[in-house]
């Protein structure tokens, strides 16, 4: 995966497969501490210790379409390459919490990529789920909460093309306002 947004998409799709109803994606960029932190929380089925170990093994997957599960191992390796850290906490019935931290200025740190497109893909394919995305850069934040949007649009499906276009533009404008995109 060439961009962090693709790692985030992959992990959020794991949350979907784990029957989560809510996925919380938090990104914190801090130039003062030279760090970029990604946290992903879900309220899915969770994993026990043995399943966590298997999830970090690139040659294990529960997916039927491919024989390897590279998402979490690749993200963990990306963190390691960039003087960062990776942690996963999970328990059966309570969901999963993943933290990936990078030295932001590290030459090998992947670019953030297109967060708006990744989030719109998640929303398109999972209109009944709630996604909460918060991105903070140097103390200034942008937040998207699909539950709030669903409330505002009432009977219009959130995966309506016009609504998705609006959401994508809102994310891009919000990230631009806080200085994520120039």
Q: What is the mean pLDDT of residues 34-45?
A: 98
Chain segment 117-156, per-residue pLDDT in tens: 999 999 999 999 999 999 999 999 999 999 999 999 999 9
Domain count, the chain: 1
In a domain, 73, yes or no: yes
Tokens 């708006």 belong to: 116
Structure tokens at 125: 């394919």
Residue 31 — φ and ψ, nearest 5°? -65, -30
Q: Residue 82 falls within a domain, yes or no? A: yes
Within-domain flag for 141: yes
Which of 9, 45, 6, 5 is CA-nearest to residue 126? 9
pLDDT digits (tens, 9 = 90+) for 80-94: 999 999 999 999 999
Q: Please, which pLDDT band fits residue 31 given cuts at 50, 70 and 90?
A: very high
Cα-Cα end-to-end distance for the chain: 23
pLDDT-derived band at 62, boundaries 50, 70, 90: low
Burial of 1 (0-12, 13-18, 19+ CB in 10 A): middle
In percent, the amount of the chain with pLDDT more than 90 equals: 87
pLDDT of residue 67: 40
The answer to the question of residue 96 being in a domain is yes
**Which residue is associated with the tokens 């919490």?**
97
Helix (H, G, I), strand (E, B) or coil at 22: strand
The answer to whether position 182 is within a domain reads no
Task: Show the CA angle centred on residue 124, arms to residues 93 and 3, nearest 5°.
Answer: 80
Name the 3-class secondary structure at 78. Answer: helix
Distance CA 13, CA 8 (A): 9
Domain residues for the domain of 29 are 4-177
9: CATH:
3.30.565.10
67 assigned to some structural domain: yes
């Amino acid at each position: 995966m060439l961009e962090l947004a693709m790692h985030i998409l992959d992990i959020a799709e794991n949350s979907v497969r784990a029957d989560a109803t809510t996925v919380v994606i938090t990104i914190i960029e801090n130039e003062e501490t030279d760090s970029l932190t990604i946290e992903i929380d879900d309220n899915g089925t969770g994993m026990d210790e043995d399943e966590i170990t298997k999830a970090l093994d690139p040659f294990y997957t529960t997916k039927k379409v491919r024989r390897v599960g590279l998402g979490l191992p690749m993200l963990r390796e990306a963190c390691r390459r960039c003087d960062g850290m990776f942690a996963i906490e999970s328990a059966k019935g309570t969901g999963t919490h993943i933290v990936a931290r990078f030295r932001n200025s590290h030459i090998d740190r992947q670019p953030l990529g297109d967060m708006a497109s990744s989030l719109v893909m998640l929303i398109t394919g999972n209109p009944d789920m709630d996604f909460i995305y918060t991105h903070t850069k140097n103390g200034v934040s942008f937040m998207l909460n699909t539950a709030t949007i669903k409330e505002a649009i009432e009977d219009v499906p959130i995966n309506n093309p016009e609504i998705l276009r609006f959401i994508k533009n809102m994310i891009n404008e919000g990230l631009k306002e806080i200085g994520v995109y120039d």
